[in-house]
Amino acid sequence: MWVLAHRGASKAAPENTLKAFRLAIEKGATGIEFDTYQLGEQIVVFHDRWLDRTTNGHGLITAQSFEALRQLDAGDGEVIPTLAETLALMPANALCNIEIKHLTDAAGWLKTLDLAMAASSLDYSKLILSSFNHTWLRQLKNLRPELQVGALTATYPENGAEFATHLSAYSLHMDLDVIDQHYVTQAQQAGLKVLVYTVDQKEDLLLMADWGVDGVFTNVPELAKQVLAER
Ligand code: G3P
Ligand code: CA
């Protein structure tokens, strides 16, 4: 079962920072999950719409210039990273789930991604582009069919995994609070990887392993690795 560090090793370090990503790899995570906003020609790594919870800044992230964002403290003196900085940090074997929270122009987004990838040691097969906004995923997939997309859902769809297969998704990402074993089996039989968020408790980690999910998003990758090793 893949252990994907959710926003990096975000219990031990400030979420969505290079420090959290570096730590995740040090702790043996299979890879990382992080959130992104497209701001003009830049893609920055950030979760909330508002700056206030995780930085010393205020207001909507989309109302700020890139230069102003880069002056902020995202915790422990870390700056808000760019996509390029994040991917450049990753070893070639790390799986990277880029969650898209804000997309304004799919073609521009891919151009920024390509520049970031050229400066990293990763292959495109190590990327999963996910979003709760499936229209954005479809736009990206139409432009670049070979990209792996992950359909995110926080609810239990009535038609099983159909919404994800319809998107030609690589994976289906579902909330631990709603998923059940039947759904995991159904999605996997439809050819999808099943990734579950956010799994931080030992009992839940073991349950996901028992259900045979393909991966978990966790804020505590070290604990997850340990629990799986002792299983
Ligand atoms: O990608 C899984 C999970 O991160 C989705 O929810 O709010 O943590 O971005 P959120
Ligand atoms: Ca996320």
- Domain positions in the chain: 2-230
Alpha helices (H) in 83-201, listed in sequence order: 83-89, 106-118, 134-143, 162-166, 181-189
- pLDDT attached to residue 209: 98
CA distance 172 to 184: 9
Residues with CB under 6 A from ligand 1: 6, 33, 35, 47, 99, 130, 152, 173, 197, 217
- pLDDT attached to residue 193: 98
Across the range 67-77, mean pLDDT stands at 98
Q: Mean pLDDT score of the chain, rounded to an integer?
A: 98
Residue with CA at minimum distance from ligand 1 atom 3: 197
Instruction: Give the 3-state secondary structure of residue 38.
Output: strand
Across the range 22-37, mean pLDDT stands at 98
Quick check: 14 and 20 in contact, CB under 8 A?
yes
Ligand nearest to the CA of 130: 1
CA distance 61 to 52: 9
Q: Which of 7, 35, 129 to mutate to test the pocket of ligand 1 (most atoms within 8 A of CB)?
A: 35
Q: Which residues are part of the catalytic machinery?
A: 6, 47
Please give the model's pTM, rounded to 2 decimal places: 0.98
CA distance 81 to 125: 22
- pLDDT attached to residue 152: 98
Residue with CA at minimum distance from ligand 1 atom 2: 197
Across the range 158-164, mean pLDDT stands at 95
Instruction: Give the 3-state secondary structure of residue 49.
Output: coil
Atom in ligand 1 nearest the alpha carbon of residue 33: 1
Q: Residue 2's pLDDT band (boundaries 50, 70, 90)? A: very high
* Chain segment 98-147, per-residue pLDDT in tens: 999 999 999 999 999 999 999 999 999 999 999 999 999 999 999 999 99
Q: Residue 19's pLDDT band (boundaries 50, 70, 90)? A: very high
Across the range 161-190, mean pLDDT stands at 98
* Chain segment 196-226, per-residue pLDDT in tens: 999 999 999 999 999 999 999 999 999 999 9
Looking at the structure, give the CATH architecture of the domain made up of residues 2-230. Answer: Alpha-Beta Barrel (3.20)
Q: What letter would DSSP give residue 121?
A: S
Quick check: 188 and 212 in contact, CB under 8 A?
yes
- Cα 4–chain centre separation: 8
Type of residue found at 168: S
Residue with tokens 């709760």: 132
H-helix or E-strand spanning residue 194: strand 193-197
Atom in ligand 1 nearest the alpha carbon of residue 47: 9
Quick check: 150 and 97 in contact, CB under 8 A?
yes
- pLDDT attached to residue 192: 98
Across the range 57-74, mean pLDDT stands at 98
Q: Of 25, 168, 72, 212, which is closest to residue 34 (Cα–Cα)?
A: 25
Instruction: Kindly report the backbone phi and psi dihedral angles of residue 229, in degrees, each rounded to the nearest multiple of 5, phi listed first.
Output: -70, -35
Quick check: 97 and 31 in contact, CB under 8 A?
yes
Across the range 159-169, mean pLDDT stands at 96
Residue with CA at minimum distance from ligand 1 atom 10: 47
Please give the share of the chain, as a percent, with pLDDT higher than 90.
Answer: 100
- Kindly provide the ipTM of the predicted complex, given to two decimals: 0.99
CA distance 204 to 189: 23
Residue with CA at minimum distance from ligand 1 atom 6: 197
